[in-house]
């Protein structure tokens, strides 16, 4: 049988008629489970019908109790519906509770999510604020660092050594601290490390320091006299109650004047007194040494009050006593002439000096030399000049043949306490009350350099017999040793314009653009600064570049010639006589592998040459003005060129097409051959950036990949002629028409140090391969050396 709900219309109608009900009403009454009960009750198959009426009644009762009816298919959904009908109240309550739980979970989850988002936003704000605060802190630290580096340079120039050292040492990082130090820090600290190991004799205020003529021994006087072995600095012996002394030229005897005026002779080999000479009454105990031995060793002189005592060195006869002119007052200083004939005496009264003929025993000159008290007199070794110094920062040089003043040292910045001549009579050393030793050119009156090391006034001083060292004492009792003419700043080759390092750093080359010079190429050893090769080449030079292997030098000349020389043998390897004619060949640069040499010139072309044979490989055309420079990228994949209109082009090595074109300032002044230095553009060591010098003191940095300008740095007051990166890319050096060499931090676009101004525009700056020394050139080649500090602090870091 079929369920009524699934039977045909006719069947439904027939059944309804029998029951006297409408078919719809009948289907409503017998819907669902009752339909199944009826169908099972009238099932034709006896096995599928209810077995008894009781079973039928039970199934109806199940229906009434909302329990599962056996006539229905026993599906899970059916059983669940029956369970729900039977437990409707409980399920509604449970569902309500479950809904409340779900709503609560949703609300709490939303609140938690909202709080988490708020916490994350707050954490991000805090992290961002912390980063900003850290960045501000780092920026302020960096600004302080830069300011102190620039102030340290000023302190050095003005002799404030204590403050300078304190500022520099404050930037030595402790464990875990950021290290801000760059080349400028090491250079400035190296300035303070130029002097050799010092000596602290413990004799109080120094009055004199003198080497023996053979340089074996060093005598020091203060509260007593001490004699040291010069090499080991070991004390050999001391003499008490004496403050004045003089070496005999044979280095074996020492004349000593005690505080009571007793004059004796000591043998320095045995460290004992060998003779009592006499007594000089009225010896002053004020600062200064008034005992001296004649250069021929035959006599000794002691100034005491208004008397000048002169003894014969070989006997104990009574001394010759010369009466000092009363206008001088008590003698303040004295010195023998190199021929042992004359003695110059400076007086304690303002301005007066006297010169004696020690052989004849008569005065040959009394003159008013200064406006203030004379502190030192010194005869030049060649005997042609006498230097005198006074307390009003006045140092004069006199011609000893006419006794006329020939020179006054310019810009003496502190009171001079002592004078010493170099052995060649060309340089006068002045010990100043600011602690500096000034070395002055005796012909021009200009200072050559300052030696710094004392923190208090320098007093006693002496030049070593071999000319390699100067020793100087101070009022604080310290003694320091200096190496003159081996400074971080030194005039290496006067008159040269361009200087570049070799790839191994063992030598550097300089060339001269002066046409009248016969020799215009020099090779110098970097360790000794000795010129090892000097030879002439055809035509005045405008550019040079050592090959990457260090064996050859490429040259560009004003007459348009490009040539390559083997520097050791001065052999011309190849030459292109008409490389850039008509006009000048301005610049040359080797590819990193040394196989190709690029040159440029006034003919507006770039030419690529085979480095070995000199064969022309390619000519690049694209500039509309004369070219000033050409430079290869470190990987050799690009070539940068610039012209006198300020156009900069970057060429692709594979296609030799222009990748990017930039501007570094149009209309460079001067036109002519001096429109640029040797290297106005330079790739960074990693090849990512290109630096260029421009007009009005501007230094540009571009991104090589995009050609986009990244930074513009201002600081020079003249057009920037040359730029160079340190090997690690952390610093950039520039030289300009204003005569300054400046050091930049390209990552921040900041000037970190300005080096001493030169006399003319700077043509080249170039770093040594180790990045410790900087070569700059104008009318002279200068070497700025930071090696001493690097050796100290980098060695400590490694340890």
Q: Give dist(CA 210, CA 217) in Å, integer.
A: 9
Q: Based on the fold, state whether residues 516 and 613 are members of the same structural domain.
A: yes
* Statement to judge: residues 259 and 352 lie in one domain: yes
Residue 68 in domain: yes
192 in a domain, yes or no?
no
Residue 494: Cβ-neighbour burial (10 angstroms; 0-12, 13-18, 19+): exposed
Please give the residue that has the higher pLDDT: either 198 or 648: 648
pLDDT of residue 678: 65
pLDDT for residue 554 is more than 80: yes
Domain span at residue 171 reads 91-180
Among 30, 55, 86, identify where a domain stops: 86
Same domain for 401 and 549, yes or no, is no
Position 339 scores a pLDDT of: 94
Q: Are 291 and 301 in contact (CB under 8 A)?
A: yes
pLDDT over 70 for what percent of the chain?
85
What confidence score (pLDDT) does residue 182 get?
A: 96
Same domain for 404 and 323 = yes
The 10s digit of each residue's pLDDT in 95-151 is 888 888 888 888 888 888 888 899 999 999 999 999 999 999 999 999 999 999 999
pLDDT for the residue numbered 590: 96
Give the model's pLDDT for residue 82.
Answer: 63
pLDDT of residue 531: 81
- Indicate if 426 and 404 belong to the same structural domain: no
Top-confidence residue, 14 or 1: 14
Residue 328 has pLDDT above 90, yes or no: no
Sheet with strand 208-211: strands edge to edge? 208-211, 217-221, 225-229, 235-239
Cβ atoms of 466 and 447 within 8 Å: the answer is no
| 3-class DSSP state of 185 | helix
Residue 293 phi, psi dihedral angles, 5° rounding: -115, 140
202 falls within a domain: no
Give the residue-averaged pLDDT of 691-715. Answer: 92
Residue of 83 and 20 predicted with greater confidence: 83
Does a structural domain hold residue 186? no
Lowest mean pLDDT among 3-17, 260-274, 362-376: 3-17
pTM: 0.71
pLDDT value of position 797: 44
Residue 5: what pLDDT?
A: 54
Spatial CA neighbour of 527 closest among 184, 240, 195, 768: 768
DSSP-based three-state secondary structure for 793: helix
**DSSP H/E element including 123:** helix 88-157
Q: Same domain for 343 and 321? A: yes
Provide the 8-state DSSP code for 240: T
Among 65, 86, 107, which residue terminates a domain?
86
User: Is 195 part of a structural domain of the chain?
Assistant: no
Per-residue model confidence (pLDDT) at position 691 = 96
Confidence category of residue 152, pLDDT binned at 50, 70, 90: very high
Structure tokens belonging to residue 275:
């003779």
Instruction: Name all contacts of 298-303 with Cβ < 8 Å and 24+ positions apart.
Output: 298/340, 299/340, 299/358, 300/246, 300/255, 300/263, 301/334, 301/336, 301/343, 301/358, 302/244, 302/257, 302/263, 303/331, 303/333, 303/334, 303/345
Are 330 and 292 contained in the same domain? yes
Number of domains in the chain: 5
The answer as to whether 188 is a domain residue is: no
Residue 557 belongs to some domain of the structure: yes
pLDDT at 289: 64
**Tokens at 627, concatenated:** 């070219």
Look at residue 276 in the predicted model and tell me its pLDDT: 87
Q: How confident is the model at residue 668 (pLDDT cuts 50, 70, 90)?
A: very low
d(CA 641, CA 626): 11
459: CATH: 2.40.10.480
697 Rama class: left (phi>0) / alpha (psi -120 to 50) / beta: left
Query: Does residue 604 carry a pLDDT above 60?
Result: yes
Are 373 and 514 in a shared domain? no
Q: Mean pLDDT score of the chain, rounded to an integer?
A: 84
Of 318, 302, 218, nearest to 256 by C-alpha is 302
CA angle 277, 279, 283 (to 5 degrees): 130
Does residue 798 carry a pLDDT above 60?
no
Tell me, yes or no, whether 319 and 269 share the same domain.
Answer: yes
Does position 12 have pLDDT exceeding 50, yes or no?
A: yes
Distance CA 53, CA 489 (A): 128
Residues sharing a CB contact under 8 Å with residue 456, sequence separation 6 or more, in sequence order: 435, 474, 475, 476, 478
Per-residue pLDDT tens over the stretch 565-592:
998 888 899 999 888 877 788 899 999 9
Q: Which two tokens stand for residue 93?
A: 């309550």
Looking up residue 749, the CATH number of its domain turns out to be 2.130.10.10
Say yes or no: 578 and 614 in one domain.
yes
- The answer, yes or no, to whether residue 649 has pLDDT greater than 90, is yes
What share of the chain in percent tops pLDDT 90?
A: 39
Q: What's the pLDDT at 513?
A: 54
Condensed to tens digits (0 to 9), the pLDDT of residues 361-382 reads 888 888 878 888 888 999 999 9
Nearest to 600 by CA among 668, 537, 651: 651
Strand, helix or coil for residue 388: strand
Residue 673 pLDDT exceeds 50 = no
287: phi then psi, degrees, rounded to nearest 5: -55, 135
Interatomic CA distance for residues 781 and 775, integer angstroms: 7
In angstroms, the CA 515 to CA 520 distance is 9
| Cα distance between residue 638 and residue 621, in whole Å | 15
Residues 312 and 395 in one domain: yes
Which segment of 6-10, 73-77, 518-522 scores lowest on mean pLDDT? 6-10
SS3 533: strand
Q: Which of 373, 388, 416 is the C-terminal boundary of a domain?
A: 416
Query: Does a structural domain hold residue 199?
Result: no
For residues 401 and 286, state if they share a domain: yes
- Least confident range from 72-76, 421-425, 642-646: namely 72-76
Q: In 3D, which of 694, 695, 700, 645 has the Cα closest to residue 671?
A: 645
Return contacts of 25-31, CB within 8 angstroms, 24+ apart: 30/4, 30/5, 31/5
């Amino acid at each position: 049988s079929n369920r009524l709900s699934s039977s045909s219309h006719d069947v439904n109608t027939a059944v309804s008629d029998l029951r006297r009900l409408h078919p719809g009403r009948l289907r409503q009454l017998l819907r669902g489970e009752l339909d199944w009960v009826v169908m099972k009750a009238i099932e034709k198959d006896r096995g599928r019908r209810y077995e008894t009426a009781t079973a039928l009644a039970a199934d109806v009762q199940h229906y009434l109790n909302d329990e599962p009816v056996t006539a229905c298919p026993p599906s899970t959904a059916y059983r669940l519906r029956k369970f729900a009908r039977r437990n409707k109240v409980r399920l509604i309550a449970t569902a309500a509770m479950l809904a409340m739980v779900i709503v609560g979970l949703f609300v709490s989850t939303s609140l938690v999510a909202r709080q988490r988002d708020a916490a994350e936003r707050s954490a991000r704000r805090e992290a961002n604020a912390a980063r900003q605060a850290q960045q501000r802190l780092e920026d302020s630290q960096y600004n302080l660092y830069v300011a102190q580096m620039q102030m340290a340079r000023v302190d050095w120039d003005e002799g404030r050594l204590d403050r300078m050292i304190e500022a520099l040492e404050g930037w030595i990082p402790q464990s875990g601290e950021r290290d801000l130090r760059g080349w400028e820090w090491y250079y400035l600290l190296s300035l303070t490390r130029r002097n050799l190991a010092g000596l602290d004799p413990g004799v109080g205020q120094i009055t004199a320091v003198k080497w023996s003529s053979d340089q074996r021994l060093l005598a020091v006087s203060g509260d007593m006299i001490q004699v040291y072995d010069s090499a080991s600095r070991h004390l050999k012996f001391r003499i008490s109650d004496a403050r004045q002394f003089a070496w005999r030229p044979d280095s074996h005897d020492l004349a000593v004047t005690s505080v009571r005026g007793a004059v004796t002779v000591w043998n320095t080999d045995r460290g004992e007194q060998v003779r009592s000479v006499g007594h000089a009454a009225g010896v002053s105990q004020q600062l200064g040494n008034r005992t001296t031995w004649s250069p021929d060793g035959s006599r000794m002189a002691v100034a005491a009050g208004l008397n000048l005592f002169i003894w014969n060195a070989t006997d104990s006869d009574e001394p010759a006593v010369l009466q000092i002119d009363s206008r001088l007052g008590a003698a303040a200083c004295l010195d023998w002439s190199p021929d042992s004939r004359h003695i110059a005496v400076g007086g304690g009264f303002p301005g007066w000096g006297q010169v004696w003929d020690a052989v004849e025993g008569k005065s040959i000159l009394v003159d008013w030399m200064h406006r203030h008290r004379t502190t030192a007199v010194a005869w030049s070794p060649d005997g042609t000049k006498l230097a005198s110094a006074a307390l009003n920062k006045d140092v004069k040089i006199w011609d000893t043949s006419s006794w006329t003043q020939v020179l006054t040292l310019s810009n003496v910045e502190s009171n001079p306490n002592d004078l010493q001549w170099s052995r060649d009579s060309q340089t006068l050393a002045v010990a100043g009350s600011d602690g500096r030793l000034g070395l002055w050119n005796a012909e021009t009156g200009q200072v050559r350099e300052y030696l710094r090391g004392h923190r208090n006034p320098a007093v006693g001083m002496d030049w070593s017999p071999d000319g390699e060292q100067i020793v100087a004492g101070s009022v604080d009792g310290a003694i320091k040793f200096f190496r003159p003419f081996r400074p971080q700043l030194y005039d290496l080759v006067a008159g040269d314009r361009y200087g570049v390092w070799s790839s191994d750093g063992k030598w550097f080359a300089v060339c001269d653009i002066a046409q009248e010079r016969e020799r215009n190429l020099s090779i110098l050893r970097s360790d000794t600064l000795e010129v090892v090769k000097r030879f002439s080449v055809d035509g005045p030079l405008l550019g040079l570049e050592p090959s990457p292997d260090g064996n050859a030098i490429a040259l560009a000349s004003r007459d348009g010639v490009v040539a390559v020389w083997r520097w050791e043998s001065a052999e011309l390897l190849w030459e292109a006589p008409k490389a850039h004619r008509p006009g000048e060949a301005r610049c040359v640069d080797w590819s990193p592998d040394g196989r190709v040499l690029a040159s440029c010139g006034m003919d507006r072309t770039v030419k690529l040459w085979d480095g070995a044979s000199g064969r022309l490989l390619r000519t690049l055309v694209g500039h509309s003005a004369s070219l000033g420079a050409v430079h290869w990228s470190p990987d050799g994949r690009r070539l940068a060129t610039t012209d006198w209109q300020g156009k900069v082009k970057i060429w692709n090595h594979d296609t030799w097409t222009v990748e990017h074109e930039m501007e570094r300032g149009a209309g460079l002044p001067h036109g002519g051959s001096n429109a640029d230095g040797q290297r106005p553009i330079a790739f960074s060591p990693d090849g990512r950036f290109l630096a260029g010098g421009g007009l009005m003191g501007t230094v540009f940095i571009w991104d090589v990949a995009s050609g986009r300008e990244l930074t513009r740095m201002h600081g020079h007051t003249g057009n920037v002629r040359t730029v160079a990166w340190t090997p690690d890319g952390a610093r950039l050096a520039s030289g300009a028409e204003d005569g300054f060499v400046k050091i930049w931090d390209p990552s921040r676009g900041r000037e970190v140090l300005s080096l001493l101004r030169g006399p003319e525009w700077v043509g080249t700056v170039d770093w040594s391969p180790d990045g410790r020394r900087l070569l700059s050139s104008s009318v002279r080649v200068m070497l700025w050396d930071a090696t001493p500090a690097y050796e100290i602090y980098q060695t400590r870091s490694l340890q």
